[in-house]
Structure 1
Amino acid sequence: MPALVRRLFPGCLWQMPATSPPTLYLTFDDGPIPEETPFVLDTLAQFGAKGTFFCVGDNVRRHPEVARQIVAQGHRLANHTFHHISGWSHSNAHYLQDVAECQALLNELQPHPRPLLRPPYGRITIPLARALEASHQVIMWDVLTYDYDRSYSAEECLRNAISNTRPGSIVVFHDSLKASRNMRFVLPRYLAHFAEQGYQFAQL
């Protein structure tokens, strides 16, 4: 993400500090769904990894048992709005209501004093970011795997993710049907690569 964009949104979190041992923060957008999220959970468990799941509220409503499985396995639920809406094409009031609707469901499953939110598509305005600061920590990223983009081969996604990762990186995967082909190839190989280098994998 260009440095100028980061400067325009100083309240958003783009990367975590480097630590020893080095740690990565894997995040999963657009679930939970029964077709893909259990694969992610099983793969994370194989590496003793924890992750953060940015959930679409309507998916939580339709698949609460999958959301409960995320919590039971020690991962964190976070907000990806209720209807996966863009902050560029809705009023602040509409957007904030959609966020609140999603958060109400998440609070029933895993209340947290400082909820996390990732804006769908990364689309957010400066006034909206400021409005959200009172209720949520907005999480962006510094590594996007492009697993959802079928114009990229799985091998290209893996190379891109590995080459751009640094200690403290916040990495975006998707537990969605659209991303399935690439995500199922990339995630276990990405974890194996960095586990061999002594990295840990933590939730935000």
Structure 2
Amino acid sequence: MTLTPVKIPTLVKRMFSNYIWSIPTTSKIIYLTFDDGPTPGITNCTLDILKQYNAKATFFCIGNNIEKHPDIFQNIINSGHAIGNHTHNHIKGWKTKTKDYLKNIFEAQNVINSQIKTYHTERSRSVELETQNPELKTLNSELFRPPYGQIKPKQGKQLIGLGYKIIMWDVLSFDWDDTVSPEDCLNNVISKTTIGSIIVFHDSVKASKNMQYALPKFLEHFSKKGYSFESID
């Protein structure tokens, strides 16, 4: 277990208030996010679980993974979920020059935009279909999450200046941590989640055991309490 807390302290959110840590709302809404995909055998399983609970989420995808698995990426879009940029090679902002960091993000963005264009081309030929799928109009949102949460102030400032929204989180599941049991992973998200929370899971091989155990139970728990699950647009 790292020293990173499950619940991000209010002080940290205030210090970096130009980043988005949670979504202000008075409604019972939770914002699920998934990092590091698309991943064969895991992302599609995640989509199936979300569908069972009519839940929408935001997938912060790695550009290189999209290139390798465009069909899975298309499944994410086709299921009505939002897309975010998670760099092209999952690089650490603190250890990367700003110029190189931005270049890596733009490389991922080009891949994302290309795949979204393909989606629009294939599915927006019919006016009726476009009307039935309002997600078509929101896919180009420039959402970005820095891998490991590591981003230099200069990097963040430039990205925001370019129109990106930097999405951090309110609650970490620690699903990737092999010292955390599936039960503890579930407890992390259930005990710390509140209205408007942004939750981090991972649709990755490393996190799959904990995530696939915790996610359906998390969805069931909060569904029974009257919560809905929405994407970040």
Instruction: Output the TM-score relative to the length of structure 2.
Output: 0.85
CA distance in 1, matches of 2:25, 2:186: 22
How far has the Cα of 1:35 moved from its partner? 1.9
Whether contact under 8 Å (1:9, 1:129) holds in the other structure is no
SS of the residue aligned with 1:163?
A: helix
Would the aligned equivalents of 1:32 and 1:63 in 2 still touch at CA under 8 Å? yes
Q: Report the AA paired with residue 66 of structure 1.
A: I
From 178, 187, 193, the counterpart of 2:215: 187
Q: CA deviation at 1:113?
A: 4.9
Match of 2:55 among 49, 54, 58: 49
Percentage of pairs with the same residue: 46
Moved over 6 A (4+): none
- Which residues of structure 1 form unaligned runs of 5+? none
Aligned to 2:124: none
- 1:110-149 → structure 2 map (5 Å cutoff): 110=116, 112-135=139-162, 136-149=164-177
Give the SS at the match of 1:182: helix
Look at both structures and tell me which one has the larger radius of gyration over its CA atoms.
2
Q: Cα offset for 1:109?
A: 2.5
The CA RMSD over aligned residues, in Å, is 1.1
- Deviations 1:51-77 (Å, cap 9, x if unpaired)? 100000000000000000000010111
Contact 1:50 1:201 in 2 (8 A): yes
| CA deviation string 1:48-104 (max 9, x = no partner) | 000100000000000000000000010111100000001100000000000000011
Q: Distance in 1 between matches of 2:115 and 2:80?
A: 12
TM-score normalised to the size of structure 1? 0.96
In the alignment, the residues of structure 2 paired with residue 139 and residue 188 of structure 1 have an alpha-carbon distance, to the nearest angstrom, of 23
CA distance, structure 2, for counterparts of residue 113 and residue 178 of structure 1: 29
Q: What is aligned with 1:106?
A: 112
Aligned length: 203
Amino acid at match of 2:209: R
**CA deviation map 1:144-168 (0-9, x unaligned):** 0000001010001101110100000
The residue that corresponds to 2:30 in the other structure is 24
How far off is 1:3 after superposition? 2.9
Structure with greater helix percent: 2
Task: Indicate which of 189, 193, 202 corresponds to 1:165.
Answer: 193
- For structure 1, which segment, 104-113 or 87-96, has the greater mean C-alpha deviation from structure 2 after superposition? 104-113
Structure 2 unpaired stretches of 5+: 1-7, 118-138
Alpha-carbon shift at residue 17 of structure 1 (Å): 1.1
| Other structure's SS at 1:133 match | helix
Q: Counterpart amino acid of 1:73?
A: S
Q: Which residue in 2 is equivalent to 1:15?
A: 22
